[in-house]
Structure 1
Amino acid sequence: MKIACVGGGPAGLYFSILMKLQDPDHDITVHERNPAGSTYGWGVTYWGSLLDQLHEGDPESARAVKENSVRWSDGVAHVGDRTTTHHGDEGFGIGRRQLLDLLAERARSLGVRVEYEDEIADGDRLPDADLVVACDGVHSGVRERHSDHFGTEVGLGRNKYIWLGTTKVFDAFTFAFVETPHGWIWCYAYGFSADHSTCVVECSPETWTGLGLDRADETEGLVRLQELFVKLLDGHRLIGRANTGGSAQWLNFRTLTNRAWSHGNVVLLGDAAHTTHYSIGAGTTLALEDAIALAHSLRAEPELAPALAAYEKKRRAELLSVQSAARHSAQWYESLPRYIGLPPAQMFALLGQRHSPLLPYVPPQLYYRIDRAAGQLEALRRLKRWLGPKVARTLHAKRG
């Protein structure tokens, strides 16, 4: 099969790796519009379950990703002068550029052509291929050529956010909430290398304008944010994106869905097909899982149309719970005043429960008490399940 991947992000590169491993005779080209080594964003997060999936598909690239990742198991929340820590599951961070370099190197070693500064511009013909994979992001130019067929819908989130880097290295997934005269502003921060972390800053539109961030250029905005998060950053600086022309890159999150994911020999992958709010840290994972599912469907079904249909059906079903969690997570932050006044332990507990569809409809303190009671009940159930066989054996021995 001749395959063209339009977009050289993690999903397109990993899909090309899987297809080459399935059949070395596949003719695969990845068309990436940006120069080699350039990318937006800083670090990406993932969990151990993704490593398991990557290892199943290609142990070599999975080992490379794991060896170049940092890990944490704690979550820390700073709310004003109050701090609380939660011990949770192990998470991982890796620089987006590092991830792309690893996957591109692996793809090329298998015979994939990775072409940089190779943009498929509007009006240009799509590559001549049996399968064209549109993995060119939320603003996919390939998808927009057939927008009526794909039925793309985009909803804008209320809050403003900006994606930054910092030289402060965080050893836990860190939340920091700072109160200002214009409302709360907060950030999510996590390490992704030995010397850098990602720092995503978010606030309501009223806080954004009240602080003058809507009028500040990038340099002015970074100085203002460094002042606001001075305790968190501990003297380190924030870093903006290169090549922005001096403008600050504040955005409203775009939740994108499509009525259809394929059209003829064109199929959507990753953010071109769907997006999930950054606050659940799953975007890269979901894109890679798309790549895994598409490669599996193409292996299982020899005919293209049924294979693309099977891929779409599988991924739509798997995404339902994740998309619901992302939607409720975004709403939690948009309703921050409802939770921010709680004691730190309660606030952090409900931060962890922000994916719940019930939380918006139950008073926060009542929800916390119910959740605690349910947790204690589950602990008792686990104890009973553990004790039951032991008690039964003891009684049986005594009867004997």
Structure 2
Amino acid sequence: MCVKVACVGGGPAGLYLSILLKRQDPAHDVTVYERDPEGSTYGWGVTYWRGLLDRLRERDPGSARAVEEHSVRWRDGVAHVGGLATRHHGDEGFGIGRHRLLAILAARARELGVRLEFEHPVTGANPPAADLVVAADGAGSALRTHHADHFGTEITGGRDHYVWLGTTKVFDAFTFAFVETDHGWIWAYGYGFGPEGSTCVVECAPGTWTGLGLDRADEAEALVLLEKLFADVLDGHPLSARSSGRASAAWPVFRTLTNRTWSRDNLVLLGDAAHTTHYSIGAGTTLALEDAMALATALRERDTLPDALAHYERERRAALLPVQSAARLSAQWYENLPRYIHLPPEQMFALLGQRHSPLLPHLPPRLYYRIDRAAGRLETLRRVKRRLGPVIARTVQARRLAAGDGRARSGRPDAVPAHRG
């Protein structure tokens, strides 16, 4: 059966869902409505990890190849604390410019026959006529807001203020920089997204924000101050704000958004319209794309639209639980930064990597670090045992055979078995 689908919102979630639906059935009639002109977007770059790339490749190899080709990658994390620095080697991460990602997805959608309607705002009062309307219009979704009572939207504000910036400095690792001022600590997360530059998110506690005058400074004054504070990691490169030119609140607090239900009749929420998670775990785009994958699969495998939407919501809610917990704990780690910042840089960075642990807030940081190190050594020993066990067993058995030891051939209980870890 041919299905008419309207995706409201031309971000990664809406575009990728349109791609998947057309790949599942080219007869589907799919249109994406985006309020802004083509090529305009907020933000700078987005991050993701190898697991997402593998899932993209399974569902649409063509767009996955293009995304990977235009991404930068890193394995190291670097933390600068005052005048000290430490570097850790970790999992492979990726960054891609948001403009580039949207251009790739838009081109692929057009190639498959999706209609893209830019500069076409949609409100709750004028939803498109379609069998399925997908609200992929972000955390401030007009479609969701129009039915706020039904969806049961709840918004919880964080404590710290932040600003999303760009810089021409290309970081070669995921970079954390913590700077102490007379009014408390201020910190930045920086990651490259292409040869043209990096994203740089700056965050601080309310007292630091007002103490530095950032609550009163205009955009140019704030950028000059931040460039001075982070001069050591920027290497003389400037900071830039509002890459799309879209007006936004200066230095907001992060708003965690949840909904009691994700669908109403033929309207369903996708991506940030359904949920948000704190930016410090870098999962927003990944979760939006995974939403699109789950919704497309449910629409293909379920017999009715209500069943498909219910299945999609159950699956994604379950998948989101650990991510939302990690995001909440990550935000709290930064809100309690004075608890960790005076540790030796190696220990502080190790606990930064452990900030998703529900145990960490309840133990003295140095004790947690010692326990974590001890557990890590035990796990290393277990891995070595699993690797060497079969080798040792085969070596012992070979020596017995060479010595004519009948026990190795007899199958008797005291013969050495192959270790399977």
Q: Name the TM-score class by shorter chain.
A: over 0.9
Partner amino acid for 2:113?
G
Residues of 2 paired with 1:382 and 1:29: CA distance?
51
Question: Mind listing any 5+ residue stretches in structure 1 that lack a counterpart?
Answer: none
Instruction: Report Cα offsets for 1:131-186 as digits up to 9, x if no partner.
Output: 00000000111011111111110100100000000011111000000000000000
**Equivalents in 1 of 2:40, 2:157: separation in Å?**
27
Q: Quick check: 1:145 aligned with 2:146?
A: yes
SS of equivalent residue, structure 1 residue 78: strand
Report SS of the residue matched to 2:361.
Answer: helix
TM-score by length of 2: 0.93
Partner of 1:304: 305
Aligned-partner Cα distance in 1 for 2:325–2:22: 34
Q: 1:380 Cα shift?
A: 1.0
CA distance in 1, matches of 2:360, 2:336: 11
Partner of 1:103: helix, strand, or coil?
A: helix
> For the Cα contact (< 8 Å) 1:216–1:248, is it kept in 2?
no
Question: In structure 2, the residue corresponding to 1:117 is in which secondary structure?
Answer: coil
Deviation at 1:244, TM superposition (A): 5.1
Structure 1 moving runs of 4+ over 6 Å: none
Percentage of matched positions with identical amino acids: 71
Aligned to 1:370: 371
Q: Is 1:332 aligned to residue 333 of structure 2?
A: yes
Deviation at 1:386, TM superposition (A): 2.2
**Partner residue of 2:239?**
238
In structure 1, the partner of 2:358 is 357
Determine the structure 2 residue equivalent to 1:48. 50
Matches within 5 A, 1:106-255: 106-123=108-125, 125-241=126-242, 242-243=244-245, 249-255=250-256
Q: For 1:380, what is the secondary structure of its paired residue?
A: helix
Q: In 1, are the aligned partners of 2:42 and 2:246 still within 8 Å (CA)?
A: no
User: SS of the counterpart of 2:250?
Assistant: coil
- C-alpha offsets along residues 277-333 of structure 1, whole Å, 9 cap, x if unaligned? 100001000000000000000010121000000100101111111111111000000
Kindly report the root-mean-square deviation, in angstroms, between the aligned alpha carbons of the 2 structures. 1.1
Equivalent residues of 1:164, 1:200 under 8 A apart = yes
**SS of 2:58's equivalent?**
helix
Partner of 1:81: 83
Does the Cα contact within 8 Å between 1:76 and 1:174 map onto a contact in 2? Answer: yes
Q: How far apart, in 2, do the equivalents of 1:36 and 1:149 lie?
A: 32
Alpha-carbon contact 2:340-2:365 (below 8 Å) kept: yes
Q: Is the 8 A contact 2:40 2:99 kept in 1?
A: yes
Return the offset for 1:122.
4.9
Paired residue secondary structure (1:46):
strand
Secondary structure at 1:159 match in 2? strand
State the partner residue of 2:412.
none
| 1:15 partner amino acid | L
Q: Which moved more, 1:362-371 or 1:113-122?
A: 113-122
Q: Assess if the C-alpha contact under 8 Å between 1:76 and 1:84 holds in 2.
A: yes
Aligned equivalent of 1:100: 102
Match of 2:408?
none
2:282 corresponds to which residue?
281
Following superposition, the deviation at residue 187 of structure 1 comes to: 0.3
TM-score, structure 1 normalization: 0.98
Partners of 2:61 and 2:170 in 1: how far apart? Answer: 29
CA distance in 1, matches of 2:194, 2:75: 16
With over 3 angstroms needed to count, the CA separation of the structure-2 counterparts of 1:248 and 1:273, relative to structure 1, is closer
Aligned length: 398
Report the more deviating stretch, 48-57 or 334-343. Answer: 48-57
Q: Identify unmatched segments of 5+ residues in structure 2.
A: 406-421
Compared with structure 1, are the counterparts of its residues 27 and 36 closer, same or farther at alpha carbon in structure 2 (3 Å cutoff)?
A: same
Counterparts of 1:386 and 1:243 in 2: how far apart (Å)? 55
Is the CA contact 2:183–2:208 (under 8 Å) kept in the aligned structure 1? yes
2:254 is the counterpart of 1:265: no
Give me the whole-angstrom Cα distance separating, in 1, the residues matched to 2:387 and 2:56: 34
Counterpart-to-counterpart distance in 2, 1:97 and 1:278: 18
In structure 2, C-alpha distance between the alignment counterparts of 1:389 and 1:130, rounded to whole Å? 58
Q: Shift of the alpha carbon at 1:383?
A: 1.7
Structure 1 Cα separation of the partners of residues 246 and 117 of structure 2: 24
Q: Distance in 2 between matches of 1:342 and 1:328?
A: 19
CA contact (8 A) 1:221 1:248 kept: no
Structure 2 SS opposite 1:170: coil
The answer to whether the aligner puts 1:10 opposite 2:12 as a matched pair is yes
Q: Give deviations 1:208-253, integer Å, cap 9, x for gaps.
A: 00000000111111111111111111111000005356x8721110
Structure 1: distance between partners of 2:389 and 2:45: 47
User: Equivalents in 2 of 1:397, 1:36: separation in Å?
Assistant: 68
Partner SS state of residue 157, structure 1: strand
Amino acid across the alignment from 1:283: G
1:381 alignment counterpart: 382
